[in-house]
């Protein structure tokens, strides 16, 4: 019979080399091999039709199966030596029977190799089923294994019993299901044998054949009796689950964990092979499994591949784009895995040798302490890890923060340990209260900037940002926008809940973006059902397919919130619905019971219900811990618990194993999640919470020695304050008030002013009228300190409601001074400058010193003359060595006169010099104090002003001020004194360039001391001098002013920021840039700023903008516009106040404009000539009595223009050249170019074109060096015109 196209050669003699070789023979069949062809022959003398049809069926199945199926390929059905036979393509390899025999004999075939073989077998069976063919004859003799590309290929060789499934579904597909079931049962036996769980009997001669010689035939095998599976301890649980599930179905055991198809088995085996570290772990029967307890991971991470990619991309961007920082905002519901996602940054950080700083905000903790705690933990880890190459980091911190380390050490004690031996012993770490808030913000930024570097990038993680207070958000914003912080990725997670306001965070992110920092947002939702399945599969070490019913149910019940998923899984274990079966050595579950289990829709409520099933002692421990905060140490737990009723050593391991707590090391513990803490706190009945807190706080207070109280004061006070409603007697009120005062003062030393204010307000609420008699010191101390804290944080409402009480109740005026000091600073901060003056007048009068009532010319002359007489016979050395002021009342008078002086400059200008004279007089007559240095500086600035123009006298007073500041170690006065001395005084006597580093020094010192206003004023003065005075390269001016503006925005000083924007705009215009600084930084226009300034009487801003316009127009050759701006500027007179560099340069430019138009506009030549001559006369005085360095080149150029106007050609040429040489010698490249250009115009006027071209080219080179590309282009156009 022939059903195929293949025919064997005709019968006849053949050579021995082409004779078929008998490979196998049984009673009914024989198998021959002829090279690559196999022949299966029926040996029956009279084969039945059924036997022949079976051969045909085998060919039909082979043809039906796709070529990709690994099966015996039947070529034809035809006779062989007169017997029916099929001819097929020979399959190389070993039968599974032979393979197993060899494996047992060698004893070195490991489980990974067996798994690859298993996958090959299951894949072939899956391919059969995919083609709608049930193999129905799965046995070790019918499977041939061969190696290919490092893996195995399994070929099924006997197709005689295979079943081709029909598409008829009339019977519900039951026949097909039953057929598949048979293959699955057989597969279980095969896999069991493959992993050495069974032994097989075989009479096959193939067992004795060569490993690669033959294809075996079908054989039966016998399972050993009374042995469901032969797994030994140490066998991987996951593989055991696959095999046992397949084997159990033969015994008819019904279970939801059931394979419905071979494809799932294949998928599971492939997952096991892909993740051997998870699924091929040897089974170890430990304490957990013996007691049927699920050891679920608390920090596992699953899914979120796209989010992780964004995280890595952000980190990569920070490291590539010149270190520009970036913010990644990650939001989601509680328990959705935000923190787990951020933890994935550890891998790239480790690869980049970077650092991670992490802080977690908590609704019950002091939010303003979190940043300090995060840094303290960071340095503790650095110390513990003993990381190599930390010397570079130590030096960076030492250089950047310097003595500021000692200021931060109270708040970051581990910084002291880390820097021990690397700081100067004489560095001052004293912290002044009101100034210290800005100080620590600045120092934190410097510290973070020192930690991050190109070779050691940094990630800072702020968790649960929704609980952060305004101060913390402000500090975080400052860090993110700090120009010195580079190579830093900021990671912020926060919750999305209706009951949590989001506006503060949104405002912070908006502010950050406005300052040019990129903010990327990631919204975390529920994890997918597949992810839950993966998580459960790995947790339970079960194949994914067998976990699918469980994961589907859990996902539906928990909404895919990962925290809920893990806690629900634990509750199933605790309720007996998920258990470890020691018999089958695997985790099993009751799917019906799980589906019927009642589950709360809220994870907190669910965890609380879970906790209520715990023993009472465990519940009490959880309640106790919930009141101790997000983290706590064992000692706090012992002190807070009832004596002899609570076993801490039993409770803590149980809570860690149950997933409620995690051990952080050094006997410290923290909650696994704040939702867990919330669930534990919910165990305390609402009506009993006050008494529970009070009892806890009281126990801790009573059991804490006095010398250790500062370590636990916050925990004690927080709990006592929450039980304040339970206090009954005045003694109790005063005791708790005293503890709040101690906590408030401690918080202030740690720069936690918001927390300090909260403690102190509670303390104040406990002070009654009679307390001022019985507890006067306590009452006064609380009110003084709370007013100070409230001022620092800017809580004006609470400040005003408390500040009058100590003024009313204090027993003497001296006890009121601290409160008045706070009140005056409040008035100044809120812009009530006249109120400042009036309050200072009252205080100074109470201190028995005069304060002028009415200001007139006579009083002005009297005060100035009196000071002149006092100073007349005193040398600088005598003034510097004046004795120190010791009278406390005089020192107080100086403080309040100084308050009044700073307000008088703006509110009552005529009062300012009188107050200055009073302060100088007090210093000379009663001795000097720190403020005396400011007084002498202010007096010097008045001497150099337009009223006096006494440059020498002013310079002398400036020198006295600087030396007094040094002698008295008045570091907090550096910003103000440097601004006055180097911004207003020394510019008349010393080179402009000398002032620049002094302003930057004052900026750093001011940030350290906290004087924000004058700190930023030094940046403004630096910008003015750098641009207009020194003529620094405009590219440098561009970059530095950008930084300066950002620093002003950081500190909320928009007024000064806009002044610096004007400077930046000049640089941009002269560089030829189309960028608008006002729009970039303040979303406004120059015209809008000018109009607003005029409407709000901000004369100085209007004058500054007009000067900018005049200066730019002049250098761009727009002389008509320059003249118009000069005319408009006359409406905004300078007055007699101090003059900065831009005023000096402005006068110089006015003279050049005047002489230009005196030549061009003959109709009003006299007016312009008069203006020019006036400027020239003024410049002659400045050059004679002031600095030759700063003024000689300007004077020479004005003189040259004047001689040019007069027609004195020789004198003009001499002065032009003198101006060029002076500007060159003194490094004023911009004014050197200007002098070359004016000389070129002079030569051109007289027809000397060659000389004019030479000078224009010289001017061009100077302007190029200056970076003024727009001016260069104008000069080039002039040169091109001359060359025609």
DSSP-assigned states of every residue in 220-282:
---PPTT-S----TTS-HHHHHHHHHHHHGGGT---SS---SHHHHHHHHHHHHH-HHHHSPP
Residue 169: pLDDT band with limits 50, 70, 90: low
**Lowest mean per-residue pLDDT among 55-64, 349-358, 747-756, 1232-1241:** 747-756
Of 488-497, 557-566, 848-857, 1209-1218, the range with the highest mean pLDDT is 1209-1218
Quote the pLDDT of residue 255: 54
CA–CA separation, 188 vs 185, rounded Å? 5
Per-residue pLDDT reduced to its tens digit, 449-506: 999 999 999 999 999 999 898 888 988 998 999 888 999 999 999 988 766 777 888 8
Quote the pLDDT of residue 242: 92
Kindly report the number of other CB atoms within 10 A of residue 88's CB atom: 25
CA–CA separation, 1009 vs 931, rounded Å? 15
Quote the pLDDT of residue 222: 33
Q: Distances in Å between the alpha carbon of 316 and those of 277, 342, 476, 688?
A: 29, 15, 21, 52
Quote the pLDDT of residue 737: 97
Quote the pLDDT of residue 426: 52
Per-residue pLDDT reduced to its tens digit, 84-104: 999 999 999 999 999 999 988
pLDDT at 346 over 80: yes
Q: What is the mean pLDDT of residues 893-916?
A: 89
Largest Cα separation within the chain, whole Å, is 148
Residues 6 or more apart in contact with residue 1127 via CB below 8 angstroms: none
Residue 173: pLDDT band with limits 50, 70, 90: low
Q: What is the mean pLDDT of residues 187-201?
A: 74
Mean confidence (pLDDT) of the chain: 87
pLDDT at 1010 over 80: no
CA–CA separation, 188 vs 106, rounded Å? 24
pLDDT at 180 over 50: yes
Q: Which residue has the higher pLDDT, 321 or 1200?
A: 1200
Residue 154 backbone dihedrals phi, psi, to 5 degrees: -110, 125
Quote the pLDDT of residue 507: 87
Q: Which residue has the higher pLDDT, 701 or 427?
A: 701
Per-residue pLDDT reduced to its tens digit, 799-820: 999 999 999 999 999 999 999 9
Per-residue pLDDT reduced to its tens digit, 739-777: 999 999 999 988 888 899 999 999 999 999 999 999 999
Quote the pLDDT of residue 1116: 96
Q: What is the mean pLDDT of residues 394-415?
A: 88
Query: Which 8-state DSSP code applies to residue 928?
Result: B
**Helices 1229-1245, 1188-1206: crossing angle, 10 deg rounding:** 10
CA–CA separation, 1203 vs 1239, rounded Å? 12
Element (H, E) at 358: strand 355-360
CA–CA separation, 157 vs 612, rounded Å? 62
pLDDT at 525 over 90: no
Task: For residue 241, give both structure tokens.
Answer: 């689950």
Q: Which of 749, 745, 747 is nearest to 429 (CA)?
A: 749
- Collapse the DSSP code of 855 into the 3-class scheme (helix H, G, I; strand E, B; otherwise coil) and give the result: coil
CA–CA separation, 331 vs 1013, rounded Å? 37
Contact assessment for residue 926 and residue 885, using Cβ atoms and an 8 Å cutoff: yes
pLDDT at 228 over 50: no
Query: Which 8-state DSSP code applies to residue 27?
Result: S
Quote the pLDDT of residue 3: 30
pLDDT at 201 over 50: no
Q: Which residue has the higher pLDDT, 752 or 1250?
A: 1250
Residue 229: pLDDT band with limits 50, 70, 90: very low
Quote the pLDDT of residue 436: 64
- Does the predicted model carry a pTM greater than 0.85? no
- Across the beta sheet with 355-360, the strand order is 355-360, 458-463, 488-495, 326-332, 518-524
pLDDT at 716 over 80: yes
Q: What is the mean pLDDT of residues 1043-1050?
A: 86
Residue 191: pLDDT band with limits 50, 70, 90: very high
Locate tokens 């004859």: which residue?
Answer: 137
pLDDT at 342 over 60: yes
Q: What is the mean pLDDT of residues 346-372?
A: 89
How far, in whole angstroms, is CA 801 from its chain's centroid? Answer: 38
Residue 177: pLDDT band with limits 50, 70, 90: confident
**Helices 1141-1160, 1188-1206: crossing angle, 10 deg rounding:** 10
Q: What is the mean pLDDT of residues 881-899?
A: 95
Quote the pLDDT of residue 205: 31
**Lowest mean per-residue pLDDT among 47-56, 255-264, 313-322, 983-992:** 255-264
Residues 6 or more apart in contact with residue 153 via CB below 8 angstroms: 70, 93, 120, 124, 145, 146, 147
CA–CA separation, 338 vs 495, rounded Å? 9
Per-residue pLDDT reduced to its tens digit, 635-648: 999 999 887 767 89
Quote the pLDDT of residue 1004: 87
CA–CA separation, 682 vs 623, rounded Å? 8
Q: What is the mean pLDDT of residues 783-793?
A: 93
Quote the pLDDT of residue 1181: 95
Side-chain half-sphere exposure of 1161, counting CA atoms within 13 A: 16
CA–CA separation, 574 vs 677, rounded Å? 20
Quote the pLDDT of residue 233: 56
CA–CA separation, 923 vs 867, rounded Å? 11
Burial of 896-932, coded b for 16+ CB within 10 Å and e otherwise, reads: bbbbbbbbbbebbeebbbbbbbbbbbbbbebbbbbbb
Kindly write down the DSSP assignment for every residue of 900-913, as one continuous string: HHHHHHHH-TTHHH
Quote the pLDDT of residue 215: 45
Q: Which of 325, 334, 324, 327 is nearest to 310 (CA)?
A: 327
């Amino acid at each position: 019979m022939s059903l195929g196209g293949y025919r064997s050669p005709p019968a006849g003699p053949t050579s021995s080399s082409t004779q078929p070789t008998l490979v196998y023979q049984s009673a009914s069949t024989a198998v021959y091999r002829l090279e690559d062809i196999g022949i299966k022959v029926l040996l029956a003398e009279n084969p039945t039709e059924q036997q022949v049809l079976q051969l045909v069926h085998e060919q039909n199945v082979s043809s039906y199966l796709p070529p990709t199926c690994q099966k015996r390929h039947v070529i034809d059905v035809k006779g062989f030596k007169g017997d029916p036979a099929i001819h097929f393509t020979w399959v190389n390899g070993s039968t599974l029977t032979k393979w197993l025999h060899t494996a047992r004999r060698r004893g070195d075939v490991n489980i990974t190799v067996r798994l690859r073989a298993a996958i090959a077998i299951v894949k072939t069976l899956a391919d059969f089923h995919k083609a709608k063919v049930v193999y129905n004859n799965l046995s070790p003799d019918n499977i041939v294994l061969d190696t290919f590309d490092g893996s195995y290929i399994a070929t099924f060789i006997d197709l005689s019993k295979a079943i081709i499934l029909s598409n008829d579904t009339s019977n519900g597909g039951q026949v097909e299901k039953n057929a598949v079931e048979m293959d699955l049962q057989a597969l279980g036996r095969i896999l069991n044998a493959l992993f050495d769980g069974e032994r097989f009997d075989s009479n096959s001669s193939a067992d004795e054949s060569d490993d690669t010689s033959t294809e075996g035939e079908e054989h039966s095998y016998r399972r050993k009796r009374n042995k469901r599976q032969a797994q030994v301890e140490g066998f991987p649980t996951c593989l055991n689950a696959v095999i046992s599930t397949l084997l159990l179905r033969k015994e008819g055991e019904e279970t939801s964990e059931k394979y419905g198809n071979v494809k799932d088995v294949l998928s599971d085996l492939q997952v096991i092979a892909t993740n051997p570290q998870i699924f091929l772990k040897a089974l170890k029967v430990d304490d957990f499994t013996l007691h049927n307890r699920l050891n679920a991971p608390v920090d596992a991470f699953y899914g979120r591949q796209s989010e992780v990619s964004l995280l890595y991309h952000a980190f990569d961007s920070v490291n590539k784009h010149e270190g520009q920082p970036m913010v990644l905002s990650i939001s989601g519901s509680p328990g959705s895995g935000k923190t787990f996602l951020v933890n994935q940054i550890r891998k790239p950080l480790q690869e980049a040798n970077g650092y991670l700083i992490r802080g977690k905000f908590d609704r019950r903790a002091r939010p303003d302490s979190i940043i300090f705690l995060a840094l303290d933990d960071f340095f503790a880890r650095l110390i513990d890890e003993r990381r190599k190459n930390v010397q570079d980091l130590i030096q960076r911190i030492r250089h950047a923060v310097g003595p500021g380390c000692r200021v931060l050490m109270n708040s970051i004690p581990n910084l002291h340990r880390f820097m021990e031996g690397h700081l100067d012993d004489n560095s001052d770490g004293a912290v002044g209260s009101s100034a210290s808030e800005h100080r620590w913000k600045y120092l934190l930024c410097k510290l973070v900037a020192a930690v991050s570097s190109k070779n050691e990038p940094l990630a800072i993680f702020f968790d649960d940002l929704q609980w952060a207070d305004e101060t913390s958000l402000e500090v975080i914003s400052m860090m993110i926008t700090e120009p010195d912080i580079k190579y830093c990725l900021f990671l912020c997670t926060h919750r999305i809940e209706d009951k949590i306001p989001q506006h503060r965070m949104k405002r912070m992110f908006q502010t950050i973006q406005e300052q040019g920092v990129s903010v990327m947002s990631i919204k975390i939702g529920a994890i997918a059902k597949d992810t839950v399945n993966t998580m459960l599969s790995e947790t339970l070490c079960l194949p994914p397919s067998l976990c699918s019913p469980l994961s589907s149910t859990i996902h539906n019940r928990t909404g895919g919130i990962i925290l809920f998923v893990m806690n629900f899984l634990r509750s199933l274990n605790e309720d007996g619905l998920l258990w470890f079966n020691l018999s089958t050595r695997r985790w099993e579950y009751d799917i019906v019971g799980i589906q019927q289990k009642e589950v709360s829709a809220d994870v907190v409520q669910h965890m609380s219900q879970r906790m209520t099933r715990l023993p009472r002692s465990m519940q009490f421990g959880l309640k106790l811990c919930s009141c101790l905060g997000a983290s706590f140490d064992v000692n706090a737990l012992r002190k807070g618990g009832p004596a002899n009723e609570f076993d801490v050593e039993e409770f803590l391991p149980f809570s860690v194993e149950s997933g409620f707590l995690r051990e952080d090391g050094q006997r410290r513990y923290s909650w696994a999640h704040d939702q867990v803490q919330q669930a534990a706190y919910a165990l305390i009945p609402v009506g009993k919470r006050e008494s529970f807190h009070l009892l806890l706080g009281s126990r801790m207070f009573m059991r804490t020695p006095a010398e250790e109280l500062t370590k636990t004061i916050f925990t004690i006070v927080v709990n006592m304050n929450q039980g304040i409603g339970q206090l009954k007697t005045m003694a109790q009120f005063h005791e708790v008030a005293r503890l709040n005062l101690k906590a408030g003062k401690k918080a202030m030393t740690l720069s936690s002013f918001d927390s300090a204010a909260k403690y102190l307000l509670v303390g104040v609420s406990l002070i009654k009228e009679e307390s001022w008699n019985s507890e006067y010191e306590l009452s006064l101390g609380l009110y003084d300190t709370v007013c100070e804290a409230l001022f620092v944080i800017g809580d004006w409402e609470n400040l005003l409601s408390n500040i009058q009480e100590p003024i009313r109740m204090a027993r003497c005026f001296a006890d009121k001074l601290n409160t008045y000091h706070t009140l005056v600073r409040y008035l100044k901060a809120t812009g009530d400058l006249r109120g400042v003056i009036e309050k200072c007048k009252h205080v100074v009068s109470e201190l028995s010193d005069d304060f002028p009532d009415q200001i007139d010319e006579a009083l002005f002359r009297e005060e100035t003359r009196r000071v002149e007489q006092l100073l007349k016979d005193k040398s600088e050395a005598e003034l510097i060595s004046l004795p120190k002021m010791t009278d406390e009342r005089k020192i107080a008078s100086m403080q309040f006169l100084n308050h009044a002086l700073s307000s008088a400059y703006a509110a009552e200008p005529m009062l300012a010099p009188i107050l200055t004279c009073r302060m100088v007089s007090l210093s000379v007559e009663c001795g000097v104090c720190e403020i005396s240095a400011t007084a002498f500086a202010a007096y010097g600035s008045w001497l150099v002003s337009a009223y006096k123009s006494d440059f020498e006298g002013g310079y002398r007073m400036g020198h006295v001020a600087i030396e007094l500041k040094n002698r008295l170690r008045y570091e907090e006065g550096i910003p103000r004194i440097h601004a006055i001395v180097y911004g207003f005084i020394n510019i008349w006597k010393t080179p402009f360039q000398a002032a620049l580093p002094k302003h930057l020094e004052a900026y750093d010192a001011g940030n350290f001391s906290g004087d924000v206003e004058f700190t930023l004023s030094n940046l403004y003065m630096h910008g003015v001098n750098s641009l207009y005075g020194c003529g620094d390269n405009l590219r440098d001016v561009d970059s530095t002013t950008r930084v300066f503006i950002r620093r002003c925005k950081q500190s909320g000083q928009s007024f000064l920021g806009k002044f610096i924007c004007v400077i930046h705009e000049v640089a941009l215009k002269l560089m030829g840039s189309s960028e608008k600084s006002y729009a970039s930084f303040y979303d406004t226009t120059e015209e809008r700023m000018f109009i607003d300034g005029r409407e709000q009487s901000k004369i100085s801003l209007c004058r500054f903008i007009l000067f900018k316009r005049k200066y730019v127009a002049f250098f761009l050759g727009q002389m008509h516009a320059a003249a118009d701006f000069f005319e408009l500027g006359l409406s905004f007179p300078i007055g007699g106040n101090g003059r900065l560099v831009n005023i000096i340069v402005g006068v110089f430019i006015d003279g050049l404009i005047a002489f230009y138009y005196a030549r061009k506009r003959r109709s009003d030549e006299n007016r312009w000539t008069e203006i020019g001559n006036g400027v020239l006369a003024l410049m002659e005085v400045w050059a004679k009595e002031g600095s030759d360095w700063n003024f000689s080149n300007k004077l020479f150029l004005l003189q040259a223009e004047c001689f040019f106007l007069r027609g004195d050609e020789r004198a003009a040429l001499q002065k032009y050249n003198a101006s060029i040489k002076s500007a060159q010698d003194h490094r004023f490249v911009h004014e050197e170019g200007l002098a070359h250009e004016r000389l070129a115009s002079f030569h051109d006027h007289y027809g000397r074109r060659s000389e004019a071209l030479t000078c224009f080219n010289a001017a061009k080179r100077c302007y190029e060096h200056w970076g003024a590309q727009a001016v260069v282009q104008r000069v080039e156009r002039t040169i091109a015109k001359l060359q025609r």
